[in-house]
Amino acid sequence: MVKSMQYDLEADEKFDDPDNSLIYECKKAALDNRYVIMNGLITENAIETVWLQCELLKIKEEKEPIDLYINSPGGDAQVSMFISDYIRSGTCAVRTIGIGECCSGAFIILVSGLKRYCYKNTTLMMHNISAGIVDADAKSTLSHAKNLEDLWRRILKLLSEQSNLSEKEIEAKINEEREWYISSEQALEYGWVDEIIEPKFTYRNRKSWDKKTSSANRKKTAK
């Protein structure tokens, strides 16, 4: 089981600001514990966030796993596929943990981990990729469409390889739903995650949980 830890460290410039000591300490603590946080839209900056930090951690200790925490609505499909390629290349062991939401490209990255986790109420969603063609002539549009279709086929192949579903089954479900929202239980059933991080206590068992926590704290104090 991976440790539960979450930081919002989207803006790198805050990390460099000495006045933002809390952000600095949080990011330092995360990296010291081999946590990489990918938060927000997936753009070219995500390559630096994931690849660079993972490479730096690999230099420090090649055999120790890295935990990649993902909270993203998605974004650039090409960047998402690159990050997936990097994670699956095996240059270092990367475990992926879905927190908040893992949609579209973020879902692709989540399912690419050596071990894949999500929380019980993590939002998971996959849909087809969009064109995003602006002011292009006919030949450019056709070329872009072919490239887009090729990319979509590669995405379907990856999603199939990382699950027990076929490419046809995945594509049919996405075509039917347009935006296919997947529960954590479904993700586990389909093989896209290996474990759901369940809540440790509820209203009914809260008192017994408090007793366990208090007992553990007393032991630590005694030491």
Query: Looking at the domain assignment, is residue 150 inside a domain?
Result: yes
pLDDT in tens, 147-169: 899 999 999 999 999 999 999 99
The length of the chain in residues reads 223
Query: Looking at the domain assignment, is residue 5 inside a domain?
Result: no
CATH of the domain at 163: 3.90.226.10
Query: Looking at the domain assignment, is residue 4 inside a domain?
Result: no
Query: Looking at the domain assignment, is residue 102 inside a domain?
Result: yes
d(CA 7, CA 162): 27
Q: Domain span at residue 60?
A: 12-222
Query: Looking at the domain assignment, is residue 201 inside a domain?
Result: yes
Query: Looking at the domain assignment, is residue 173 inside a domain?
Result: yes
Query: Looking at the domain assignment, is residue 73 inside a domain?
Result: yes
Q: Beta strand pairing status for 94-103 and 116-119?
A: parallel
Which residues are within 8 A (CB) of 62 and not within 5 positions of it... i.e. 6 or more apart? Answer: 92
Three-state DSSP state, 73: coil
Q: What is the pTM of this model?
A: 0.80
pLDDT in tens, 82-100: 999 999 998 889 999 999 9
Which residues are within 8 A (CB) of 109 and not within 5 positions of it... i.e. 6 or more apart? Answer: 38, 42, 68, 70, 80, 83, 84, 87, 96, 102
C-alpha Rg value of the chain to the nearest Å? 20
Split into its structural domains, the chain has a count of: 1
